[in-house]
């Protein structure tokens, strides 16, 4: 019998060289290209595509990595159809946009496979920075800091580094093998990663390190406080996806996913691929659903059913789940944040043996409260434009400042925070933006 | 990393990529932007007695979806005063002392040439390019290609320049001749330090079928223009090799004609060019394309374990021989990879109707079959095939020694 994890086929498969040449030749090489503006890390997309076209694939990879050292995973996990590809001018001609994500993964993949590196450790500044969390923000920050000559130690609570790319992204987007290979490539520049090293009290690091970067992400899946939530067979979406990535998920026969976001969709599609009948319930209507349209379409292709205007009331069962009691909702207005009223007497039961709750993740308020003078806003760490927190020794980036966005946003934050840290530590007036001396 | 620094006839530049004398080098504003983007040098838009230009000046040939495969212009030399040009050139040289700045010139009288040369040298220009190539407008006034097409005139005017110039002199050649070596050798006799080629080719890009007037039109009429862009590269490469391989021609060459990517530039180096000049690609995409030129040539040199562009110089030109020297006993035949084949059968019909009837279709099989006994190895099927490396030309061992036409039994002289 094949292992579960092998059931996940890539939705964005690797391009062949001839595909890459044909696709890259289509790019118009726009000036001030909208795709660059749409990319949180501002990769010079037309340039790297041109370099693929001229078969300077290594030059192309360098163009990408100069802006985004996690360019390989971003090429595969980014919601490109709402970012770079969504901005492609071909849409105005009713033409298919350029397949930017796969081209990006193609070029970066070649450099990674050939183990060609473009950056090296900068001359030592004698400064030490602790990075908390080896996810996309932490890794991008550590890489950039190392180029700038600062000594970096990354602390990771989990067994493996990688964060979202290792534990949180759907395996049909980015596999464990991909994550391990990318991690090895990024960390080869020479920063230390301590795994199994959960930092409970960051202030203990203050003595040894000049600056501490918080790239801690988010916590566990939120509870929804209904009866039956402690029954066996009830999972948080984040924990479920993590189990899938670790190849130890035990999916039920009939699964109900609660929530309307992208994580709900990931959990639903993964359950379906692993053999379950899946229903997603969402309290509002299809129109208000926060998941990307392409993700919803993807789920429908995997036979995931959607039940709208429905809220959970109670998870039924003695020891383990045998059903989810729901109630129908009515929206008071057509606004996205409209008040929701339940419809009296509309309760019904969805028989199921597994419930996955995907209503967002907890913010790690207690953890951040252990740091003095650190200001939070709705649980999110407050930073200035240099990504410095209200405690000048601490910088932050990624999900813990934005409440949960894409991998690419975390990479952009991590990279820019490193530049902010460098400016702070080296008492620079400003940061010059890229390596080629263009400002 | 390879070193791209270049010394061309004594003119130094950080890399071999120059802008050709053309609209992109019209002003100091443009040239400074170009140097910021990474261009190594620029040949300023031709200086001369100011002219007046027409409105509507360019037209292009598009091939299916590819815009501007060839570009044609009826624009003349600079339409700005010599004073303005010199002032801006001086500013550029001051701000970018390491980049090569070349003054292109075109005059009628000896005194005019001498005066301009002195004024250019006074502001610190790195060299001169004599425009003997412009095929429209100026030639009717006895300048441009009218000079390039007459070796005696070419030599005479070149010597006017070289007798006073203290900076290197490049002669830019017109391709509108039957033998490019004649004007090139004349330039050499006139004391030129280098040549550049090719200038644009006489052309009419097309006719507007609604108005029935040729493009581009000026008040319903048109005139022939100068053709450039990717379409002219093959013509330029041949002329370049003719000079590279000529035993009496000794000058360094700056290659021009359809260069857009680093691969184009490498082809020019392999055919004997020391620097390359670019215009059309910049008119299409802007100065930023130089990023690809720099990165691509660098990585190509690295992957070939070469340290500088000079190591590439002329390697391919040596392999360009007279037909009589080719081996008549060498044989290739086509091979179709059935896995890669997408069954379009373009190779079949090309061979059947257009070549040697050596591909057959078998009943109920979409993938065509090569008839190996009659295939002459002409390449046509591999050229029309839309799939990369699906049809390859495989060498067949004939076990015969090299045989050239001079020794061939069919040669009536034998």
User: Is the distance from CB of B66 to CB of B74 less than 8 angstroms?
Assistant: no
Q: Are A59 and B299 inside 8 Å of each other by CB?
A: yes
- Chain pair A-B, CB pairs under 8 angstroms: 38
What residues pair up with A243 in beta bridges, in sequence order? none
Rounded to the nearest integer, the mean pLDDT of chain A is: 94
Which two tokens mark A31? Answer: 């000036």
Which two tokens mark A350? Answer: 């969805």
Instruction: Supply the pLDDT for residue A432.
Output: 60
Distance between terminal CA atoms of chain A?
Answer: 56
A87 backbone dihedrals φ, ψ, rounded to 5°? -95, -5
> What is the percentage of chain B residues whose pLDDT exceeds 90?
93
Compute the distance between CA of residue B131 and CA of residue A169 in angstroms, rounded to an integer: 62
Q: Kindly give, in sequence order, each residue whose CB lies less than 8 Å from that of residue A76, ignoring residues fewer than 6 positions away.
A: A10, A12, A101, A105, A173, A174, A178
Annotate A266-323 with DSSP letters as a single string: HHHHHHHHTT-EEEEE-SS-GGG--S-HHHHHHHHHTT-EEE-SEEEEEEEESSBEEE
Return left, alpha or beta for B137; rule: phi > 0 is left, psi -120 to 50 is alpha, else beta: left
User: Is the distance from CB of B226 to CB of B200 less than 8 angstroms?
Assistant: yes
Compute the distance between CA of residue B214 and CA of residue B217 in angstroms, rounded to an integer: 6
Instruction: Supply the pLDDT for residue A79.
Output: 96
From residue A41, alpha-carbon distances to A54, A418, A434 in Å are 24, 14, 12
> In this structure, is the dihedral angle defined by the CA atoms of residues A29, A32, A38 and A40, taken in order, positive or negative?
positive
Long-range contacts at B387-390 (CB < 8 A, ≥ 24 apart): B387/A18, B387/B340, B387/B341, B387/B342, B388/A17, B388/A18, B388/A21, B389/A18, B389/B337, B389/B340, B390/B336, B390/B337, B390/B340, B390/B341, B390/B342
Which two tokens mark A324? Answer: 């989810």
Nearest Cα to Cα of residue B6 among B171, B232, B194, B264:
B194
B184 backbone dihedrals φ, ψ, rounded to 5°? -65, -45
Which chain B residues are Cβ-neighbours of A59 within 8 angstroms? 292, 295-296, 298-299
In angstroms, what separates the C-alpha of A42 from chain B's closest C-alpha? 16
Q: Quote the strand ranges of A177-226, DSSP E.
A: 192-194, 211-214
Compute the distance between CA of residue B205 and CA of residue B220 in angstroms, rounded to an integer: 16
Annotate B73-84 with DSSP letters as a single string: E---S--S-HHH
Instruction: Supply the pLDDT for residue B147.
Output: 86
Which two tokens mark B262? Answer: 């680093």
Compute the distance between CA of residue A389 and CA of residue A391 in angstroms, rounded to an integer: 5
A297 backbone dihedrals φ, ψ, rounded to 5°? -60, -40
Instruction: Supply the pLDDT for residue B409.
Output: 93
Nearest CA in chain B to A55: B296
User: Is the distance from CB of A116 to CB of A25 less than 8 angstroms?
Assistant: no
Residue B3's SS3 state is strand
- Cis peptide before B198, with omega less than 30 degrees from 0? yes
From residue B60, alpha-carbon distances to B78, B284, B288 in Å are 22, 11, 22
Which chain B residues are Cβ-neighbours of A29 within 8 angstroms? 285
Instruction: Supply the pLDDT for residue B301.
Output: 98
Compute the distance between CA of residue A223 and CA of residue A360 in angstroms, rounded to an integer: 9
Which two tokens mark A311? Answer: 């809220």
The Cβ of residue B26 has, within 10 Å, a number of other Cβ atoms equal to 18
Q: Are A59 and B263 inside 8 Å of each other by CB?
A: no
Which chain B residues are Cβ-neighbours of A53 within 8 angstroms? 261
Annotate A369-427 with DSSP letters as a single string: HTSTT--EETTEEPB-TT-BBSSTTEEE-THHHHSS--HHHHHHHHHHHHHHHHHHHTT
Which chain A residues are Cβ-neighbours of B389 within 8 angstroms? 18
Write the DSSP symbol of residue A234: E
In angstroms, what separates the C-alpha of A168 from chain B's closest C-alpha? 36
Q: Which helix (H) or strand (E) holds B393?
A: strand B391-395
Compute the distance between CA of residue A345 and CA of residue A204 in angstroms, rounded to an integer: 55
Q: Kindly give, in sequence order, each residue whose CB lies less than 8 Å from that of residue A190, ignoring residues fewer than 6 positions away.
A: A121, A146
A435: contact with B, CB 8 A cutoff: no
Q: Is the pLDDT assigned to residue A435 strictly greater than 70? A: no
Give the model confidence (pLDDT) of A376-398 as tens digits: 999 999 999 999 999 999 999 99
| Residues of B with active-site annotation | 134
Give the model confidence (pLDDT) of A78-104 as tens digits: 999 999 999 999 999 999 999 999 999
Q: Are strands B391-395 and B332-336 parallel, antiparallel or unpaired?
A: antiparallel
Instruction: Supply the pLDDT for residue A438.
Output: 37
Nearest CA in chain A to B67: A28
Taking an 8 Å Cβ-Cβ cutoff, which residues of chain B contact chain A? 261-263, 285-286, 288-289, 291-292, 295-296, 298-300, 387-389
Q: Are B286 and A31 inside 8 Å of each other by CB?
A: yes
Number of helices and strands in chain B (H, E): 12, 20
Which two tokens mark B328? Answer: 């008549």
Q: Are A59 and B285 inside 8 Å of each other by CB?
A: no
User: Is the distance from CB of A401 to CB of A140 less than 8 angstroms?
Assistant: no
| Nearest-CB residue to A47 (from B291, B300, B387) | B291
Long-range contacts at A380-383 (CB < 8 A, ≥ 24 apart): A381/A214, A383/A417
Compute the distance between CA of residue A180 and CA of residue A175 in angstroms, rounded to an integer: 9
Residues of chain B where predicted confidence (pLDDT) is lower than 50: none
DSSP 3-state helix, strand, coil percentages of chain B (rounded to 5)? 35, 20, 45
User: For an interface test with A, which of B68, B263, B296, B340 has the most A Cβ atoms less than 10 Å from its Cβ?
Assistant: B296
Residue B14's SS3 state is coil
Q: Are strands A380-381 and A376-377 parallel, antiparallel or unpaired?
A: antiparallel
Q: Are A18 and B388 inside 8 Å of each other by CB?
A: yes
The Cβ of residue A434 has, within 10 Å, a number of other Cβ atoms equal to 11
A50: contact with B, CB 8 A cutoff: yes
Burial of A294 (0-12, 13-18, 19+ CB in 10 A): middle
Compute the C-alpha angle A351/A352/A354, nearest 5°: 160
A30: contact with B, CB 8 A cutoff: no
In angstroms, what separates the C-alpha of A217 from chain B's closest C-alpha? 37
Q: Kindly give, in sequence order, each residue whose CB lies less than 8 Å from that of residue A311, ignoring residues fewer than 6 positions away.
A: A281, A283, A326, A327, A329, A340, A342
Instruction: Supply the pLDDT for residue B148.
Output: 85
Nearest Cα to Cα of residue A296 among A275, A273, A280:
A280
Q: Are B289 and A50 inside 8 Å of each other by CB?
A: yes
Instruction: Tell me how far the alpha carbon of residue A49 is from its chain's centroid.
Output: 24
Give the model confidence (pLDDT) of A179-223 as tens digits: 999 999 999 999 999 999 999 999 999 999 999 999 999 999 999
Compute the distance between CA of residue A371 and CA of residue A356 in angstroms, rounded to an integer: 33
- Cis peptide before B216, with omega less than 30 degrees from 0? yes
């Amino acid at each position: 019998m094949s292992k579960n994890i092998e059931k996940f086929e890539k939705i964005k498969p690797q391009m062949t060289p001839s595909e890459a040449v044909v696709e890259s030749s289509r790019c118009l090489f726009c000036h001030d290209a909208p795709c660059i503006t749409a990319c949180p890390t501002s990769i010079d997309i037309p340039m790297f595509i041109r370099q693929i076209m001229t078969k300077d694939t290594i030059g192309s990879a360098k163009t990408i990595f100069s802006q985004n050292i996690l360019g390989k995973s971003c090429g595969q996990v980014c919601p490109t159809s709402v970012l770079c590809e969504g901005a492609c001018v071909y849409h105005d001609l009713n033409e298919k946009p350029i397949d930017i994500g796969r081209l990006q993964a193609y070029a970066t993949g070649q450099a990674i496979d050939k183990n060609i590196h473009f950056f090296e450790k900068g001359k030592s500044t004698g400064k030490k920075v602790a990075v908390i969390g080896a996810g996309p923000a932490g890794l991008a920050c550590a890489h950039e800091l190392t180029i700038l000559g600062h000594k970096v130690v990354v602390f990771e609570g989990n067994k493996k580094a990688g964060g979202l790319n290792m534990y949180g992204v759907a395996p049909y987007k980015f596999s464990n093998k991909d994550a391990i290979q990318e991690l090895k490539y990024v960390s080869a520049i020479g920063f230390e990663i301590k795994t199994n090293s959960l930092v409970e009290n960051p202030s203990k690091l203050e003595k040894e390190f000049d600056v501490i970067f918080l790239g801690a992400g988010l916590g566990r899946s939120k509870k929804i406080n209904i009866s039956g939530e402690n029954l066996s067979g009830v999972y948080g979406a984040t924990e479920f996806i993590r189990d899938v990535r670790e190849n130890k998920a035990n999916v039920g026969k009939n699964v109900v996913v609660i929530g309307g976001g992208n994580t709900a969709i990931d959990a639903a599609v993964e359950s379906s691929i692993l053999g379950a009948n899946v229903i997603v319930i969402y309290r509002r209507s299809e129109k208000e659903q926060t998941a990307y349209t392409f993700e919803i379409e993807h789920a429908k292709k995997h036979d995931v059913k959607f039940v709208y205007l429905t809220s959970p009331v109670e998870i039924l069962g003695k020891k383990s789940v045998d059903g989810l009691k729901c109630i129908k909702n009515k929206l008071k207005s057509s606004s996205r944040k409209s008040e929701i009223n339940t419809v009296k007497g509309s309760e019904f039961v969805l028989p199921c043996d597994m419930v996955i709750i995907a209503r967002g993740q907890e913010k790690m308020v207690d953890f951040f409260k252990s740091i003095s003078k650190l200001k939070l806003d709705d649980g999110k760490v407050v930073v200035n434009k240099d990504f410095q927190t209200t405690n000048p020794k601490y910088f932050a980036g990624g999900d813990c400042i934005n409440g949960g966005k894409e991998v690419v946003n975390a990479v952009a934050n991590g990279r820019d925070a490193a530049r902010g840290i460098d400016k702070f530590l080296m008492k620079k007036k400003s940061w010059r933006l890229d390596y080629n001396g263009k400002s | 990393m390879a070193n791209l620094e270049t010394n061309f006839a004594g003119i130094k530049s950080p890399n071999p990529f120059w802008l050709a004398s053309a609209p992109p080098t019209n002003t100091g504003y443009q040239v400074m932007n170009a140097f910021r983007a990474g261009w190594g040098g620029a040949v300023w838009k031709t200086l001369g007695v100011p002219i007046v230009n027409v409105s509507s000046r360019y037209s292009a040939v598009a091939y299916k979806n590819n815009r501007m495969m060839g570009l044609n212009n009826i624009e003349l030399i600079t339409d700005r005063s010599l004073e303005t040009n010199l002032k801006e050139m001086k500013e550029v040289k001051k701000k970018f002392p390491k980049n090569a700045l070349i003054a292109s010139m075109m005059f009628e009288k000896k005194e005019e040439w001498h005066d301009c040369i002195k004024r250019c040298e006074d502001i610190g220009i790195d060299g001169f390019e004599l425009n003997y190539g412009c095929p429209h407008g100026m030639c009717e006034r006895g300048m441009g290609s009218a000079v390039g097409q007459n070796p005696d005139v070419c030599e005479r005017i070149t010597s006017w320049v070289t007798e006073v110039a203290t900076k290197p002199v490049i002669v830019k050649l017109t391709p509108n001749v039957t033998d490019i070596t004649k004007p090139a050798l004349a330039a050499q006799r006139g004391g030129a330090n280098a040549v550049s080629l090719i200038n644009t080719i006489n052309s009419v890009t097309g006719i507007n079928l609604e108005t029935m007037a040729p493009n581009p039109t000026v008040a319903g009429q048109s005139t022939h223009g100068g053709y450039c862009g990717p379409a002219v590269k093959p013509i330029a490469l041949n002329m370049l090799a003719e000079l590279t391989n000529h035993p009496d021609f000794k000058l360094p060459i700056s290659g021009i004609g359809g260069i857009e990517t680093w691969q184009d530039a490498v082809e020019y180096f392999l055919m004997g060019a020391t620097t390359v000049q670019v215009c059309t690609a910049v008119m299409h995409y802007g100065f930023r394309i130089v990023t690809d030129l720099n990165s691509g040539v660098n990585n190509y040199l690295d992957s070939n374990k070469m340290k500088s562009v000079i190591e590439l110089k002329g390697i391919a030109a040596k392999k360009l021989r007279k037909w009589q020297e080719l081996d008549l006993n060498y044989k290739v035949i086509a091979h179709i990879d059935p896995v890669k084949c997408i069954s379009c059968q373009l190779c079949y019909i090309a061979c059947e109707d257009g070549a040697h009837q050596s591909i057959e279709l078998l009943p109920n099989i979409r993938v065509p079959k090569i008839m190996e006994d009659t295939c002459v190895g002409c390449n046509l099927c591999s050229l029309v095939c839309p799939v990369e490396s699906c049809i390859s030309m495989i060498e067949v061992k004939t076990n015969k020694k090299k045989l050239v036409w001079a020794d061939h039994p069919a040669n009536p002289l034998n």
